[in-house]
Amino acid sequence: MKHLVLVCAVGMSSSMLVNRMIRIAEKKELEVMIHASGMGDLSSFTDEADALLISPQIHYMEEKIKMKYPNILVMSLSAKDYAEMDGEKVLMQGLALIKD
Amino acid sequence: MTEKDQLQQKAFKIIAEAGSAKSLVILALQAAKQQQMKEAEQKLAEARKYFNDAHHYHRDLIQKEAQGIDVQLSLIFMHAEDQLMSTETIIILVEEMIEMYQLIHEK
C-alpha cells in the first residue's frame, strides 16, 4: 500500500487536511495510507513513507528534508492548494508523484 | 457552509499565507548570507505580500467582532493567529539581519 505523509510545522493544520484526504480516498476506494506529521516526529514515518508533501510554512526546509531522506519523494504544496484545504487535489498530486 | 466551516477555512488561509511568508523570509535570509542581496530583497518583498494577505483575513474577522458579531473561537483559529504572530516577528528580525549581513559583507 502507498503511504503519503503530509508534513507541517507541528502537525496541526496538516492533520485537518489529511482527514479530508482520507475521506476522499475512502470514497474512491483508493489503496493509500495517509498520515500527518510535524517536523519533530517526522522520523517516525520516514521508514515507510513513499512521499512527503510539504506545507507552505516549512517550504524553506524542503532542501534539508530531501537531503536527509534521499530515498523518499518530496514535494512542496502550493499555498493556494493548502489554503483551500482541497483534500482531493492534494491527494491526487501525492498519488501522481508516487506514480511518476 | 456553516459558520464554523467558514472560520476554519479562513484559519487555513491565514496558516497557508503566513506560512508561505515565513518560508520566503527565511529563504531571503539564507540568500543574504550567500551575498545574493538582490534575491534576498525579492524574497523579502514576496514574503511581505503573503503576510499582508494573511493579515487581511485576520483584520476582517477582528472588524466583524468589533461590529458586535460573535466570532466563534477554535483551536485551529488560535493556531492561525500563532502563525501570524510568529511570522510577523520573524519578518521584522530578518529585515534587520539582512542589513547586518550587508554590513558584514561590506567589511
Can you give the pLDDT at residue A90? 96
Query: Which of the residues A10, A13, A80 would you substitute to probe the B interface, choosing the one with the greatest number of B C-beta atoms within 10 Å?
Result: A13
Confidence of residue B71 (pLDDT cuts 50, 70, 90): confident
**Contacts of residue A83 in chain B, CB cutoff 8 Å?**
12-13, 15-17
pLDDT above 90 for B13 = yes
Each residue's pLDDT tens digit in chain A (100 positions)? 899 999 998 888 999 999 999 999 999 999 999 999 999 999 999 999 999 999 999 999 999 999 999 999 999 999 999 999 999 999 999 999 998 6
Tell me the pTM: 0.89
Q: Which of A5, A6, A7, A8 is catalytic?
A: A8
Contact B30 A60 (CB under 8 A): yes
Q: Taking Cα atoms as reference points, which of B24, B29, B36, B27 lies closest to residue B94?
A: B29
Can you give the pLDDT at residue B5? 86
- How many C-beta atoms lie closer than 10 Å to residue A86's C-beta? 18
State how far the Cα of A60 lies from the Cα of B26, in Å rounded to an integer: 7
Choices 1.20.1740.10, 1.20.58.80, 3.40.50.10490, 2.120.10.60: CATH for B3-106? 1.20.58.80
Tens-digit pLDDT profile for residues B85-104: 999 999 999 999 999 999 99
Contact B15 A57 (CB under 8 A): yes
A38 touches chain B (CB under 8 A): no
Contact A13 B18 (CB under 8 A): no
Q: What percent of chain A has pLDDT over 70?
A: 99
pLDDT above 90 for B107 = no
CATH number (domain holding residue A37) = 3.40.50.2300
Listed by start position, the domains of chain B span 3-106
Distance of alpha carbon A41 from its chain centroid, rounded?
A: 14
Contact A13 B17 (CB under 8 A): no
State how far the Cα of B21 lies from the Cα of B90, in Å rounded to an integer: 10
Can you give the pLDDT at residue B2? 87
Number of domains in chain A: 1
Can you give the pLDDT at residue A39? 93
The complex scores an ipTM of: 0.83
Axis crossing angle, helix A12-27 with helix B3-33, rounded to the nearest 10: 120
Q: Taking Cα atoms as reference points, which of A63, A77, A30, A69 lies closest to residue A48?
A: A69
Assess whether A67 carries a catalytic annotation. Answer: no
Cell of A20: 479530508
A57 touches chain B (CB under 8 A): yes
Confidence of residue B54 (pLDDT cuts 50, 70, 90): very high
Q: What percent of chain B has pLDDT over 90?
A: 85
Mean pLDDT of all residues belonging to chain A: 94
